[in-house]
């Protein structure tokens, strides 16, 4: 076993004893799942623990942990009644992950991070702050996500003004929120649109301020998982060609889907269902991307570029 | 005795003891490990064990003799046990959601630390709470097979300040360069991870996209001794662009952007600058160090977004929009 594996194992075992002590009678599979390990590996760990105790190793000095009818119990935990405190590295990893949901002043995520900092041991706090400067995560969420996440947990209907990419018009929506997800730098909320009577996907950067209403809802037994935008079966495909300067980045992003053309160009096929998204995506390359088919998509990009050239309203 | 077993025995002994335990007593209690062979070798072995326990956050210290107590080693129980953090159900749920989503993304540095942290915060709640459904897609590139491994390797190297040797692929030149880098930090922007550090080849601080790292090796010599110091003035945020106009290609230029129609009420989420009211909509001033990055971003917002000043920025906006128009008016070859 390597040093790193031994380190992880020790960490797991220092958690396992107090965990079973606090949750006696869980099945082997439940304990394995809680520890993020496999059943067989857990049984090996339990075997090792029966050898652990404190000198002088009298019978009562050993940890007494055992499996009975496929359930795990501990009778003597030898003072391993709670896990060790959070380490600086654990605190940093947790705080960085929390940052992904953009904690805001006064929200549940911010207060959770503040409470965690308070229970870090003094000697770990300095290292926590130093390590915190070395990991900087931002998912460009346009708003604090904790209130949305909280509404999902509490099954509360949310309301917001929404500018749909298809219409460009702002409308008030009431939504039963199911899932938040980020895809290619964009955050989305999937949920049941009450007025429209169906599941919809909302881009967070097109939502106005969120209102969490007192109205609750019964969540479906298994809320449907929204497809990633563009992942669904598109009814039409559009071919886009990229100039040599942009081609390397397209290869990176699309991998084998990017077809090599002559003179260092590449082309890809993308879903053509959302013309508004398509034209804006092509515009964002400033002339380095050209739609080559079908004709209606070429025309749409030309019209969008012409509209961008119009003078702003006076 | 297996090392893991010995370390657990040591923790159990020290946690149970009401008084410090001397080195002599430890040698007696662990005869096969600390009590046989040369004294120097036994001391070295114990120091290694101690270092491992300290790394796990176990407060093992040596205390001087008091009036009624001998000198020796102690583990303070109050400092050892994870206290009740006192998280509310909401706090626990959102924290867990964030952590679980980061873990499930498969591309988060320090994933083992994060997994342990989540277990610990859920300990007093009796297991994982009901977390809201949150999914993250990190990486945002086609080839992410080695990304988790690279991120964990780099994070380990950064936190212990060990230099790394890496092969770095440039999509521009299609060449791989061999670099020695002192890692100063990792940053995630727009779904992409960057390593920022001192590059010995370029003799300066450079930013590397982690998905372009083809191979990685951490300096294994003297693992407990850092290879470098991070300059006190270093700020990670200064080397990674959050927005496409923040790449440092030219001196800062204040660019005025006008948002009308449907985009006016979205100004705050589309730009990280406070908008000012304009009779026609919302106006934002953006400090750009990559004008093309800004102009392309504005183009992507559609015709309700316009660059309105200064003249050179307006001209560039028109130039790129004209290029798109021209390319789509001609029959593409």
Asked if B272 has any chain A CB less than 8 Å from its own CB, the reply is no
Delineate the domains of chain B, giving CATH numbers in brackets. 3-80 (1.10.10.10), 147-239 (2.30.30), 253-329 (3.30.70)
All structural domains of chain A with their residue ranges: 3-76, 88-132, 146-216, 237-309
Asked if B117 has any chain A CB less than 8 Å from its own CB, the reply is yes
pLDDT for res A70: 95
SS3 call for A269:
strand
* Angle in degrees, 0-180, between the axes of helices A88-99 and A122-132, rounded to the nearest 10: 40
d(CA A289, CA A286): 7
ipTM: 0.78
- Say if residue B229's pLDDT is above 90: yes
- Say if residue A231's pLDDT is above 50: no
What digits encode the pLDDT tens for the residues B28-81? 999 988 988 889 999 999 999 999 998 888 999 999 988 777 899 999 888 899
SS3 call for B50:
helix
In the numeric block, the tokens 């915060």 are attached to B121
Question: Choosing among A95, A135, A260, which should be mutated to test the B contact, i.e. which has the most B CBs within 10 A?
Answer: A135
Task: List CB contacts of A34: < 8 A, sequence separation 6 or more.
Answer: A19, A23, A26, B119, B127, B128
Q: Which two tokens stand for residue B180?
A: 């020695």
Report CB contact under 8 Å: B324, A301.
yes
pLDDT for res A159: 96
Does CATH place domain A146-216 in 1.20.140?
A: no
What digits encode the pLDDT tens for the residues B266-303? 888 788 877 787 777 899 999 999 999 999 999 999 89
Of B258, B300, B328, the CB nearest to A280: B300
SS3 call for B90:
helix
- Say if residue A232's pLDDT is above 50: no
CATH class of A3-76: mainly alpha
SS3 call for A73:
strand
- Say if residue B248's pLDDT is above 80: yes
* Angle in degrees, 0-180, between the axes of helices B147-160 and B111-123, rounded to the nearest 10: 80
What digits encode the pLDDT tens for the residues B204-228? 999 999 989 999 999 999 887 999 9
pLDDT for res B157: 93
d(CA A78, CA A73): 14
Give the residue-averaged pLDDT of A226-233: 53
**What element of type H or E holds A118?**
helix A108-119
In the numeric block, the tokens 């080397």 are attached to B239
Q: Which two tokens stand for residue A4?
A: 């790193």
Residues 194-253 of B with CB under 8 A from A: 211-212, 230, 236-237, 240, 242
- Say if residue A306's pLDDT is above 50: yes
- Confidence band, pLDDT 50/70/90 cuts, at residue A118: confident
pLDDT for res B126: 66
């Amino acid at each position: 076993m390597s040093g790193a594996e031994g380190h992880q194992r020790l960490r797991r075992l220092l958690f396992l004893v107090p965990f079973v002590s606090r949750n006696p009678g869980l099945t082997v599979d439940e304990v394995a799942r809680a520890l993020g390990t496999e059943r067989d590996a857990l049984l090996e760990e339990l075997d090792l623990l029966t050898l652990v105790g404190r000198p002088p190793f009298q019978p009562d000095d050993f940890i007494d942990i055992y499996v009975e009818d496929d359930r795990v119990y501990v009778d003597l935990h030898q003072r391993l009644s709670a896990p060790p405190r959070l380490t600086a590295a654990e605190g940093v990893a947790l705080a960085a992950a929390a940052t992904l949901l953009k904690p805001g002043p006064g929200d549940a995520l911010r207060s959770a991070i503040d409470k965690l900092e308070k229970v870090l041991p003094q000697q770990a706090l300095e290292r926590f702050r130093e390590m915190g400067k070395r990991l900087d995560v931002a998912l460009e969420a346009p708003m604090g996500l904790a209130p949305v996440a909280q509404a999902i947990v509490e099954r509360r209907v949310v309301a917001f003004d929404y500018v749909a990419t298809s219409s460009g018009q702002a409308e008030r929506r009431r939504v039963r929120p199911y899932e938040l997800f980020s895809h290619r730098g964009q955050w989305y909320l999937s949920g049941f649109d009450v007025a429209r009577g169906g599941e919809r996907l909302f881009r967070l950067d097109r939502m106005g301020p969120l209102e969490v209403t007192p109205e609750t809802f019964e969540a479906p037994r298994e809320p449907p998982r929204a497809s990633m935008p563009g992942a669904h079966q598109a009814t039409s495909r559009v071919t886009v060609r990229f100039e040599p300067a942009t081609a390397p980045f397209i290869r990176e992003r699309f991998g084998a889907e990017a077809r090599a053309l002559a003179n260092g160009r590449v082309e890809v096929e993308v879903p053509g269902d959302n013309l508004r998204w398509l034209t804006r995506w092509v515009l964002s390359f400033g002339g380095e991307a050209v739609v080559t088919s079908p004709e209606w998509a070429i025309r749409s990009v030309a019209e969008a570029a012409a509209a961008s050239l119009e003078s702003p309203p006076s | 005795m297996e090392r893991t077993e010995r370390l657990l025995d040591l923790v159990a002994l020290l946690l149970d003891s009401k008084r410090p335990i001397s080195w002599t007593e430890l040698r007696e209690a662990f005869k096969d490990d600390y009590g046989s062979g040369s004294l120097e070798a036994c001391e070295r072995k114990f120091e290694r064990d101690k270092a491992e326990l300290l790394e796990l956050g176990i407060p093992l210290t040596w205390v001087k003799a008091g009036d009624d107590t001998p000198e020796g080693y102690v583990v303070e129980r109050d400092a050892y046990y994870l206290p009740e953090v006192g998280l509310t159900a909401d706090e626990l749920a959102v924290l867990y959601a964030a952590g679980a989503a980061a873990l499930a993304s498969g591309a988060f540095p320090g994933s083992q630390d994060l997994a342990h942290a989540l277990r610990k915060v859920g300990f007093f709640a009796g297991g994982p709470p009901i977390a809201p459904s949150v999914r993250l897609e990190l990486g945002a590139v086609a080839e992410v097979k080695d990304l988790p491994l690279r991120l964990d390797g780099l994070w380990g190297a950064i936190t212990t300040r060990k230099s790394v040797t890496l092969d770095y692929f440039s999509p521009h030149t299609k060449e791989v360069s061999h670099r020695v880098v002192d890692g100063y930090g990792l940053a995630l922007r727009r779904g992409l991870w960057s390593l920022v550090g001192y590059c010995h080849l370029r003799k300066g601080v450079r930013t590397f996209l982690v998905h372009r790292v083809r191979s990685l090796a951490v300096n294994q010599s003297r693992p407990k001794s850092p290879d470098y110091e991070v300059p006190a003035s270093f700020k990670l945020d200064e080397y990674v662009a959050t927005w496409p106009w923040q790449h440092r290609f030219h001196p800062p230029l204040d660019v005025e952007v006008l948002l009308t129609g449907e985009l006016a009420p979205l100004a705050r989420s589309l730009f990280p600058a406070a908008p000012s009211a304009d009779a026609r909509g919302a106006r934002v001033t953006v400090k750009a160090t990559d004008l093309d990055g800004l102009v392309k971003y504005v183009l992507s917002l559609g015709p309700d977004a316009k660059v309105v000043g200064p003249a050179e920025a307006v001209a560039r906006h028109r130039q790129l929009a004209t290029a798109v128009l021209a390319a789509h008016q001609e029959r593409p070859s």
